Structure 1
Amino acid sequence: MGIIRDIGSYYTQEKGTSFTVWAPTAAQVEAVITSPKKQIIPLQREAFGYWTGLAEDAKPSTKYFFRLNGKTKRPDPASRSQPDGVHEASEVIDQAAYDWQDSAWKGIPLEEYIIYELHAGTFSEEENFEGVIRKLPELKDLGITAIEIMPVAQFPGSRNWGYDGVYPFAVQNSYGGPEGLKKLVDACHREGLAVILDVVYNHMGPEGNYLKDFGPYFTHKYNTPWGDALNFDDADSDHVRNFFLQNALMWLRDYHIDALRLDAVHAILDMGAKHFLQELQEHVTQLGEQQNREYILIAETDMNNVRLLNPIEQGGYGLAAQWADGYHHAIHTLVTGERDGYYEDYGEPEHLVKALKHTYVYNGIYSVHRRRTVGNDATAIPAKHFVVCSQNHDQVGNRMMGERLTQLISFEQLKVVAGLILLSPYTPMLFMGEEYGEQHPFLYFVSHTDKHLSKLVTEGRRKEFAAFAWKGEAPDPAAEATFEQSKLQHSYHQHEQQNKLREFYKKLIQFRKTAPAFAKRSKEQLTVHFDTEASVLHLIHSGAKPYIYCLFNLSKQPQTIASAYPERQEWEPVLNSADTAWGGPGAKKVSSSSHHSLCSLEPESLIILQSK
């Protein structure tokens, strides 16, 4: 493994606060303390352009800048706290001061993850970590086992998805800062919930990004959709890699985070002999061995590349899991009929079947949308290593009007889609509010203090939608109303139909947790058949008895279906989404069925049967 060196400010009661910053081209670096009393600490240059110094009387809450060459004053690139925003002084914190109550917590295995993605600013009325804590019992009641928090690295203003973060080590002040995040993680572990944190190692936001003043953090060798790529393989890249390796280890070690979701890893551009992702996995594995527990890395990518998951000894990066967008696209196009933009590569029943059997739909075949061959074969990789969803922040929020599936398909279809996610062999993820059919959209929002930048964001956002046939005008991302409109209403307490949908989700989750066939779920023990004439998907889990037979009627007509199971078997009903208990229109009672005549399905409905 490469070099690994502490950076930023580090406080101990015995020594005070040490300051370390990488500034290889600077001739002079000072730590300028602005409060509680003004003080200048000259830093000493060490190998590779690191500068260090010690302030024995600098305690937590001390605010400081780094000054380069006697004139350029900037916040600490590795600041642990930015209490006054991205342009103001950094703050010393005591990472060891928090009184953790989760010593018995050792995490949960990946195969038990049922993930709930949320945005800390819009999930609750309070718009912060405390608001999330208050609602954890509801998520526990639903059956969630892990929450995934969208990025919390300090960004400009108070409203942002989080992907514009510019201080990767600092927890967003408006959410509750470092103390608030630790309280949230502690509370999750108390409820038996794992915590996944979304981190961004492929680009930095524009406002408040002063990294170029310190060193070659970026390279002109590559470009990303967000500008110059971070420097993972060019001159001096060891120290850029160190910056992000230290960041990942901080979240796991100091904040007790269980897993990291790595944003858009295909934009982490590294042609070196050891890819950054492999080195990251090696350090995370080492930390887990030291702490006698497992930490999980989940990659987001649309490249369909098993190298991310393959073991390091087989030339892979050894990550634990990755998002599988193809399953989302296969479902979305079938239930909505949308075929614009990247959806043009999907929309046929065989895409859904292939996604269930082989994970990647594009596994070395030509993509019309990308105009090139995409992907490789993931059939042999166990299903638990792929995270699937029907909605997430990208697929909802990157629509022009931020519509959820609630606005796009019928109530009965919502239940069918829930089943396609929670009854799949993959690791399921829900997007906040989907479990009860939240009516508010989830829109893209920012609160840049730079008005010119805000204008550019608004204009660029509108250009992004040119490939889609969406009508209307995109809401202004910088408007506070756009943020307010995106907040969850948690209205299922007052709406009977929403409550029934939530109860249906709860039942599916409970079934997934308790049915023996799901304990041994795998693609190898999965029978998949799509009856194109009836528009009915047959999905049979036969890893353990009793076997589970799921029928999904995607048509708007009732259907009478015969079994697609290859052997003679009797089945008995377990759940029917058309029942009035789940807000359905009512369904004929399904009697125990022989091999030949299985059952009748109501329009847009799901039936679960189990073998006798």
Structure 2
Amino acid sequence: MYPVDLLNLRHEHFVLWVPGSGPSFTPPELVIGTLDQQTTTFSQLGQFPLTPWEGKTDLWHLDANSISPPLSNNAIYHYWFQVGDTSPEKRPGPILFTDPLTFTVDYRVTRGPSDAAQPAAVIKFRDGKLWACDINGSDSARAVVPDQAALPSNNHIVIYELPVSWAKSGNDSRGVDVDVGTFKDVIALFDEAQPGKNFATVAAVRDEAILSDLGINALELMPVADARAKGEWGYATAHYFATDYDLGSSSDLVRLVDEIHSQNIRLFTDVVMAFGHDSYRYIDFHPFHIRPTMEPDNADSYQSHANHQIRDGFGGESWRYIPTVQSYDPESGKDNVQVHPSWAFHRSHLARWMTDFGVGGLRLDSVNNIGNYDFVRSYKERAWELYNARYGKSADPSKFLVIGEELSMPVSMVRQGVLNALWNEPWQARLRAAVLGNPLSDQESFEWNIRKLANTTLDDRGDTNFTDGAQAINYITSHDIEGWQGQKERLYNFLKRNNIWDVEQRAKLAFALLLTSVGIPMIFAGEEFADQMDRSVDLSKKQSDPVNYERKNEGWRRDLFNYVANLVKFRTKCPALGDDDTDFIHVDTSRGGKIMAWSRGGQDVLPVVVVANFSDEDTPGSEYVVSNWPGRNEPGWREVSQGRDVPSEWVGREPLLQWEAKIYTRWRE
């Protein structure tokens, strides 16, 4: 059972919700048959009309037990709905389209217009009912509810942002072959006993557990709902209830989720709701979608931030969020009530992912391009309702999070409760200026760049600022590489572009800052070993360059990985790094403020002290004194990045190499 009435009705009926369709709507039909698994030949069983469901306005249905000849017990069926095209182009005649609620699609057999080929939806018939299944007929599984007590809280998570476009050595012009890392390959990153699938020939994937070794405790899978794009990751979501065909089945994803939950790692999913490549763009266009350029006087045509910028569908169709219709409500099951069609659709697939895959956090893509903060708030609140229902009265609010990507950074959205957190893109700009030894701008000193970098709550965004580190997602690199002169590309390429050749040293400094600063750290896949861009050359596009895990064990990259892994594990466990309290204890004005020290942690925890040298010169002599060192005379100080104890006589006096950060604490696990 699901907390969505329409999903439960699908257990016995083929259903199609067409809100606002009216009396002139041509009744849809079900086209159903079987697929030979060996030859992938489709054999049509028949074509059957759906009828209006009495007492459920705009809902069409067909009882699975009324089909003649009868469906066979334990048989797998492939099907489409035949409807008239309602898009602005309005192709003549009825066309076959994928069930917008299907949990499984099969691209081995498609129908429909050549520019919108529709994969078959897949279902199993057993004991008089319809059952969600994988394309091989296995019943779709459901992830085990994770032990809440063992999961990390928001202020102690390190998120790993993982696209599914990976690479391995090959024969193309740049020496790499691009393939898709499946759910089975992702499992191999966490379990050394699992070889993976498409990347089983890559030793680092086959023989190691890279992400378990790295120590991250939150995995953000970039969109894993099925997308039209083949052979790459992307934001072209087409089938919101189905796992991506390239990546694997629902059961494969459940196995991955159960594996990471067994290691106390939370799952975050990336959701695209500004635009879609879904079936409703043809089945029922106007209640669900809008062409902004065709409706310039409609507020739904514009993005939510300044300058009256029109929404961009990026090849898909922008979702329509403002209007309501008098219809059946697919969530509650009530009839003849006011419903936002797009709201109901997206909140329904949220229930599917939260219920079946134990989602522990969400990242909402392109919130400004969604263009409707009321919907975003509603979606966030529904996510929290589903999370709280998972654990009842014992639900811990520190172990769930809804993050938005809105690069104009309206922090007021967080303060007003529209979202829980935002991607903190300005932090990336500050970090990259710092590792070059520069201030962020001529209007701000180098010292204040570092202060705001170490404590993002100091960074006033104009209307407001973050009040809690769990509101800000900090990162060195993300999949968003668009930017002036490569300012956002992979760190390796950024440093090379700026004539920095000691990539390892600067990368270590960058990670020391990321993993000790106020905010939730996020690592883009491959940055932990300074992966580099092989194919991406168009910096106006997203990161399409694949992750090359073969590089992980190359010389200095292995050393960098081990350095980052050490700090990741420290970040996820040290109490002081879960506090926002930050005290700047040292600024060396004799060196232009390029050597600074600060302490993290409140009064009730043992502090963490960071000392960083942002200059091209080692500190002179055998010692460098930080005079305001907290608890200098207390025993047990150790330097974390090198994993060594510090003799009492050297506390607060150790020298620094150029571009080096040292991290000290008396806390021990």
Calculate the TM-score normalised by the size of structure 2.
0.71
Partners of 1:538 and 1:564 within 8 A in 2: no
1:28 CA displacement: 2.4
1:244 CA displacement: 0.8
Query: Does the alignment pair 1:418 with 2:511?
Result: yes
Give CA deviations for 1:124-157 in whole Å, capped at 9, x if unaligned. Answer: 8762111111111321222111111000222224
1:47 CA displacement: 5.1
Query: Does the alignment pair 1:376 with 2:496?
Result: no
Partners of 2:407 and 2:425 within 8 A in 1: yes
Q: Pick the structure with greater CA Rg.
A: 2
Question: Aligned in 2, Cα 1:346/1:145: closer, same or farther, shift over 3 Å?
Answer: farther
Query: Does the alignment pair 1:563 with 2:626?
Result: yes
The partner residue of 1:75 within 91, 95, 98 is: 98
In structure 2, the partner of 1:225 is 312
Write the letter of the residue equivalent to 1:181.
Answer: L
The partner residue of 2:474 within 370, 385, 388 is: 388
In structure 1, the partner of 2:20 is 24
Partners of 2:142 and 2:357 within 8 A in 1: no
In structure 2, the partner of 1:234 is 323
Write the letter of the residue equivalent to 1:102.
Answer: V
In structure 2, the partner of 1:503 is 562
Q: Distance in 2 between matches of 1:154 and 1:398?
A: 32
Percentage of matched positions with identical amino acids:
19
Question: Aligned in 2, Cα 1:77/1:11: closer, same or farther, shift over 3 Å?
Answer: closer
Question: Aligned in 2, Cα 1:492/1:289: closer, same or farther, shift over 3 Å?
Answer: closer
The partner residue of 1:286 within 385, 389, 402 is: 385
1:104 CA displacement: 4.9
What SS does the corresponding residue of 2:62 show, helix, strand or coil? strand
Q: Distance in 2 between matches of 1:160 and 1:337?
A: 36
Instruction: Write the mapping of 1:10-159 to structure 2, written as runs, cut at 5 A.
Output: 11-12=10-11, 15=12, 17-25=13-21, 27-36=25-34, 37-44=45-52, 49-56=58-65, 61-69=76-84, 71-84=94-107, 87-93=117-123, 94-95=131-132, 97-100=139-142, 102-106=144-148, 107-122=151-166, 127-136=181-190, 137-159=209-231
1:539 CA displacement: 2.4
Q: Distance in 1 between matches of 2:441 and 2:349?
A: 35
Q: Distance in 1 between matches of 2:217 and 2:637?
A: 27
Question: Aligned in 2, Cα 1:511/1:9: closer, same or farther, shift over 3 Å?
Answer: closer
Write the letter of the residue equivalent to 1:508.
Answer: L
Q: Distance in 2 between matches of 1:530 and 1:60?
A: 72
Instruction: Write the mapping of 1:164-563 to structure 2, written as runs, cut at 5 A.
Output: 164-205=236-277, 211-216=281-286, 217-219=288-290, 220=292, 221=298, 222=301, 223-226=310-313, 229-236=318-325, 238-270=340-372, 275-292=374-391, 293=395, 295-310=400-415, 315-317=416-418, 319-336=419-436, 348-359=446-457, 361-364=459-462, 375-378=463-466, 381-395=467-481, 403-409=489-495, 410-441=503-534, 443=536, 464=540, 486-493=546-553, 495-519=554-578, 521-522=579-580, 524-527=581-584, 531=588, 533-543=592-602, 544-559=604-619, 561-563=624-626
Give CA deviations for 1:89-143 in whole Å, capped at 9, x if unaligned. Answer: 4313434834456345334322231111111232787621111111113212221
Which fold has the larger relative contact order, with Cα–Cα distance below 8 Å and residues 6 or more apart in sequence? Answer: 2
Unpaired stretches in structure 1, ≥5 consecutive residues: 365-374, 445-460, 466-476, 583-588
Question: Aligned in 2, Cα 1:591/1:567: closer, same or farther, shift over 3 Å?
Answer: closer
Partners of 2:161 and 2:220 within 8 A in 1: yes
Give CA deviations for 1:47-96 in whole Å, capped at 9, x if unaligned. Answer: 55333332236677422222225723322233322211662243134348
Give CA deviations for 1:243-279 in whole Å, capped at 9, x if unaligned. Answer: 11112121111222221111121222127xxx11221
What SS does the corresponding residue of 2:232 show, helix, strand or coil? coil
Unpaired stretches in structure 2, ≥5 consecutive residues: 35-44, 85-92, 111-115, 124-130, 134-138, 169-178, 191-208, 293-297, 302-309, 326-338, 496-502
Partners of 2:274 and 2:318 within 8 A in 1: yes
In structure 2, the partner of 1:474 is none
Q: Distance in 2 between matches of 1:515 and 1:255?
A: 29
The partner residue of 1:601 within 648, 651, 656 is: 656
Matched residue count:
537
Q: Distance in 2 between matches of 1:41 and 1:344?
A: 69
What SS does the corresponding residue of 2:102 show, helix, strand or coil? coil
Question: Aligned in 2, Cα 1:570/1:21: closer, same or farther, shift over 3 Å?
Answer: same
Partners of 1:81 and 1:92 within 8 A in 2: yes
Question: Aligned in 2, Cα 1:252/1:104: closer, same or farther, shift over 3 Å?
Answer: closer
1:525 CA displacement: 4.2
Partners of 1:260 and 1:297 within 8 A in 2: yes
Instruction: State the superposition RMSD in angstroms.
Output: 3.7
Partners of 1:329 and 1:346 within 8 A in 2: no
Calculate the TM-score normalised by the size of structure 1.
0.77
What SS does the corresponding residue of 1:513 show, helix, strand or coil? helix
